[in-house]
A and B are shown apart, each in its own frame.
Chain A
Amino acid sequence: MPQAKQRAEAAMAATDTSWNARGELEVLTFDIGGETLALEATMVREILDLLPETLVPGAPALVRHVVNFRGRIVPVADLRLAFAMEAGETTADSRIVVIELPIDGEPTLIGLRTDHVREVATLNAGASEEAPAVGMRWQRDYVRRLVRWRDDLIILPDLTAIFAAVLSPRS
C-alpha cells in the first residue's frame, strides 16, 4: 500500500505526459550539459540564435536573464542549474529554445538555453520508464520519464516542477 501511495503521489507531482493513442510522443531533443533532454514539440515556439541577454538583478539564478523575443520580454532559463550540471561555454551550436508553458495560470514564453538542438523525434511510451528512486544524479521530481531512444537515454524534464521552485510569490 505505501508503495502504491508513493506512486500515486509521484504521478500527481509530475506533469502528465500525453502519449498519443499509439503510445508515441513527438518531441524536440536538445543537449544541455552533456545530457540529452526532450520536450513535447507542441510546446516549442521557436529556436533562436543566442540573443543579447539582460541581467535581472535579484532574480532567481535559474531565470536570471531576459531577452527581447520579437518585442516581448522573455525570461531565459538555464536548466543546467536545475540538474546541477556545470556551466559550459557558449559555442556556435548554442541556441535558445523558446517554449510556451503555463506559469502561475498564464501562458508564458520561456527561453531555454541549450548547447545544441538535435532534431524532432518520436519517442515510444514502451521505451520509457519512471525516474529511479535511487542512483540518479538529479532531483527526482524534476524528471518526468527517462526514455531510451537509439543509443541514448533522454530525459523528459518536468518543467512545471522546476519552475514552480523559483516562482516568486504573487503580491
Chain B
Amino acid sequence: MTEDPTATFRVEAGELLDQVEQGLLDLGHRLGDMALVNAVFRGLHTLKGSGAMFGFDALAAFTHHCESAFDRVRKGEVPATAELVSVILSARDHMAALVDGAAPQAEGDAILARLAAAVEAARGGGAPAEAAPVGAQQGVRLFFRLPADAMANGTNPLMLLDELRELGEAEVRVRTDTLPPLGALVPNECHLGWDVTLRGDITREAIEDVFIFVMDDMTLEIAPLGDAAPAGVVPVAETPPATTIAAVAPVAAPAIVASAAVSPAVENVRVPADRLDALMDRVGELVIAQSRLSQLANNRHDLLLRSVTEDIERLSGELRDTMMVLRMVPVSSLFGRFRRLIHDLARDTGKAIELQTSGETTEVDKTVIERLFDPLVHIIRNSCDHGLESPADRIAAGKSETGLVRLSAHQAGGEVLITIVDDGRGIDRERVRAKGEANGLIEPGQQIADDELLGLIFHPGFSTAAQVTNLSGRGVGMDVVKRTIESLRGAINVASEPGKGSTITLRIPLTLAIIEGLLVRVGESRYVIPLSAVEECLELSLEDDLRSRGHSLITLRDRLVPFVRLRDLFSTGTRPDPHQKIVVVATGRERVGLVVDQIIGNHQTVIKSLSAFHRGVGSFSGATILGDGNVALILDVAQLVAMAQPREETLRAAS
C-alpha cells in the first residue's frame, strides 16, 4: 500500500492546527496562562518543522513569523493580548489554507502586517509577565527521565544536559536504577535518568524550556535547593537512587513536582477507515460462519464439539463488540470545532455568546460524527442569529448580557441524544404561522398542534428571519438539517418557550454499521424492521382483517392508523397465515401498521448496502445477513410510511 506522504502530513497538520486553535481560544480567556502559550508555541513549531520537511515551504515561512511572534510572548518580552490572539487565529486559518494549497499571498502578508502591529501594541501596552524564580538565589535540583524511545524519536539527552549547563553551574549525576540486565538491554533505548543540581537564579520556566519538545512523555521533577541542605554538600550521590526523591521532597517547602506524564500515555495508531471497514466485514462473516457452526453442533450430540463451539461463539461475539467500539470516537472532537464557530459568530453579530458543552466523552461512530457537523453548524447558527437577542434587548428582558448556547450529548440505549439549547427569545409562533400560511403549508386560521406548528420550520424554503443575514435566514437550513438527520436514521425535535429560549434535540443511532431490528416473515421471505421505528406489535384479528378488506385502516386507541399488507406489496403469492400480526412503525407523528405473517424476534446485525440496481426500489434501505447465511432485506420505514400516507388522505377526503 503506497501512501502519499503529503496526505499524512495534511492529517497531522490538521490536528496540529486544531490543537493550536483550541489553545488560542483558551488563551483568549486566560491571557496570562503560560502553559497555554507554550502549548500554542509547540504546535506552531512542530507545524513549521514538518511543513518544511514535506516541502510546504510557504507554510513553513509563514508559520515561522507567527512562531517568532509567539516566542516573544513565551519569553515574556510581550504580554499576550486579545488582539494578538485574534490575529494568530486568523493566521491559523491562513495556515490551514496553505496546507490545502489554496491561499492568496496577499492575505498572508496582510495577516503578518496585523501581527507586527499587534506585537508592537502589546509591547507598549503592558509590562511583560514576571517569570517567578523557583529557588531564590540558591538554585534548583531536578531529576529527569526520558521515555525509552526518546533517542529513536531524535532526542539527544546530551544536548539537553548541555542546555541545562548553560543555565548555571551544574552538577550532573546519572541514575541507573531502571537499567535492564545486559541480556535484555536494547542499545538504542534510553533507560537512564539524571539528577542535576543547578546553582544560580534559575526560573522554573527556563528549565521547562529546555525540555519543551519532550515534555509530554518525560518525567521531570523540579525542587528548589532548600536552606536545610547547605550549599555544596548536597548528598545526591551518597543516597541510594531510589530514596533520592523522598529525601528531596520534604526539604523543599513548596515542592513543585512536574511530572508531565505520570500515567503512561495511551498509544494511538492511525488506521485508514476502509481497513476498519474491511475488518468489520470479516468479523461479520465470522459471526455468520460461527452461527452456522453452532447450528451444526446443536444437531449432533458431541459434547466436545459443543464446548468448542460455545467458546467460538463467545469469542466472535466479543470480537464483534470490540470491533464496534473501534469506530467510535468521543463527540468532543465534534464539539471542539464549534468553539471557533461561536467565537466568529459573536464577532459577526456583535452579541456576547457563551458556549457550554457537556457530555463530550459520549462516543459515536466516526461516520455519524462527520455527518453531524454540518447540521449542527446550521442549528447553532440559527440559535445565535435568530434565537439570541442583542445585549441591549437581553438586559431589557432582564437576562444577563451574555447569551448562552449549551451543547450536550448523552447516550440513551442505542442512541445518542444531542441537545442544542439557547436562552434567547424563543421561536415566534405567530411568525411561523404567518409564514406557513403565506407558503400554503397550513390553512389560514387552521387549528394545529403546537409541535406541528414548530415542525413547520423544517419545511423546505422556510425561514422566519425578517432580514436575511449572511449567517442564516436563507431558508435552506432546517429542511436540509432534517434530511441529513433522517438519513442517519435519526430524528429531530424542537421545543421552544417564548422569551426563554429554544431546545433542539437530535436522536442519532450510535452507529450506522449495526442495526437492532425486528425479524419478521412475509410469505417465505424474512425482513428486518429497524427496532427504533417499531412502536408496538399486535395481532390482526380475523374480524379486523375481514372488515378492512375494502380499506386499510385500523383503529388504534381511537386513532385511525393506515396499514399495509406486506404480502400484497411484495406480491408473495402465498396464503396469509391464520394469525397475522401488525407491526406499528412510526416516523415522527406518522404511523403505519405493517401486516406480516410472523414475528420471528429481535435481530442485531451488520447493515450492508444494496447495489445500484436495488437502491431505487424504495421499500428497502439495505440488507443484512442472517445466521443461516441467507440475506434479509431491511425495510425502509420512512418510505413505507410515506407510501401509506396519501391513501389515508384520500380516505379522509372521501369520508
Contact = CB atoms under 8 A, between A and B. Distances in A.
Asked whether A and B interact, the reply is: yes
Contacts of A167: 612-613
A168 B617 contact: yes
Interface string A129-164: 000000000000000000000000000000000010
B54 to A, nearest CB: 31
A52 B628 CA distance: 10
A103 B525 CA distance: 27
Contacts of A89: none
A39 to B, nearest CB: 18
A110 interface: yes
A75 to B, nearest CB: 5
Contact of B284 (A56, A71, A168): A71
Contacts of A166: 613
Interface in B613-631: 613-620, 623, 625, 629-631
B612 A68 contact: no
A104 B614 CA distance: 12
B15 interface: no
Contacts of A72: 281, 608
A25 interface: no
A15 B485 CA distance: 40
A106 interface: yes
A44 interface: no
Contacts of B618: 58
Given A70-B285, A71-B281, A54 B612 contact: no
Contacts of A56: 610, 614, 617, 620, 633
Nearest to B613: A63
A58 B623 CA distance: 15
A171 interface: yes
B629 A52 contact: yes
Contact of B614 (A59, A67, A106, A109): A59
A75 B611 contact: yes
Interface in B587-646: 608-620, 623, 625, 629-633
Interface of A: 52, 54-60, 63, 66-68, 70-75, 103-104, 106, 108-110, 163, 166-171
Given A71-B284, A108-B612, 16 more contacts: A54-B525, A54-B631, A54-B632, A57-B617, A58-B570, A59-B617, A66-B611, A71-B625, A73-B609, A73-B625, A75-B611, A108-B611, A167-B612, A168-B614, A171-B615, A171-B616
23 contacts: A52-B629, A54-B631, A54-B633, A55-B525, A56-B614, A57-B571, A57-B572, A58-B570, A58-B619, A59-B614, A63-B611, A63-B613, A68-B288, A68-B630, A73-B610, A73-B625, A73-B631, A75-B614, A103-B611, A167-B613, A168-B615, A168-B616, A170-B616
Which 10 residue pairs are nearest across A and B when measured between Cβ atoms? A168-B616, A57-B570, A71-B285, A54-B631, A104-B612, A63-B613, A73-B623, A73-B608, A58-B617, A75-B611
Interface of B: 281-282, 284-285, 288, 525, 569-572, 608-620, 623, 625, 629-633
